[in-house]
Amino acid sequence: MTIKQAMVLAAGLGTRMRPITDTIPKPLVKIDGKPMIDYALDSLAEAGVEKAVVNVHHLADQMLKHLNSYKALDIVISDERDRLMNNGGGLAKGLKLLGRGTVFVTNADLFWIGERADRPSNLRRLAGFFDANRMDMAMLCVKLADTTGHNGKNDFNLAPDGRLTRYRERGPNPVVYAGAIVMDTSFLDDAPADDPFNINIYFDKAIERGRLFGMMLEGHWLTVGTPEAIGEAEETIRRFRTFV
């Protein structure tokens, strides 16, 4: 299945990245010479996405200029300059700018490297993994050992059948949420219309229904939350390229 629409969450304040984010929005901070958001946009374009909604808030004019220059996708702006909606509220608002049906949801400040050229990409595999008859959300996951810049905490336990539950100490097969989801837009039909909320509400809703599923990422996952983490991420990228 080829998914042709997506939402990229990019409206955060990037407070832990200060003082860099006093003058540049976090999604535009360059890692190995490339703005972070472009890792997400390029992955979506490679997977066959044609249209992506991106929400903006902090230093939005810079975001708009950059996104206007990005040509691999038809980008639609979800404007949160008047009110920041948190990740769940931002997603619910942004989905209204897309057609009904299956969508990718990704974060602008999380990305991965090391996909094999002779295999389908992580997002293409996630699209093929998603089954709307059994799943509310299909989530890309990664082992803690395959991350750089993460806080060291696991998020979920991944069962042999792919179902996810909240991580508990010493639980089987712990994994980290890698910042990419496939879902049907209808899953958020009952979301608050204009109120900020955290997307974890819907993760828990899917878990309660036995319909949150996970698929393992191929490669290495990076998150850059502080100025000091930029160098760590770039060194990881250099080492990984040398290794492979």
Q: Which residue has better confidence, 169 or 110?
A: 110
The type of residue at 223 is T
* Tens-place pLDDT, residues 195-209: 899 999 999 999 999
Mean pLDDT (the chain) is 93
**What domains does the chain contain, in order, with CATH numbers?**
5-243 (3.90.550.10)
Q: What is the pLDDT of residue 242?
A: 57
Q: Which of 224, 93, 77, 79 is nearest to 149 (CA)?
A: 224
**Is pLDDT of 25 > 70?**
yes
| Angle value at C-alpha 105, between 15 and 156, nearest 5 degrees | 80
Mean pLDDT of 144-162: 90
- State which H helix or E strand residue 228 sits in: helix 227-243
Q: What is the pLDDT of residue 192?
A: 87
Mean pLDDT of 139-159: 91
Share of the chain above pLDDT 90, in %: 81
* Tens-place pLDDT, residues 41-72: 999 999 999 999 999 999 999 999 999 999 99
Q: Who's near 13: CB < 8 A, 6+ residues apart?
A: 21, 26, 57, 58, 84
**Is pLDDT of 126 > 70?**
yes
- State which H helix or E strand residue 141 sits in: strand 137-142
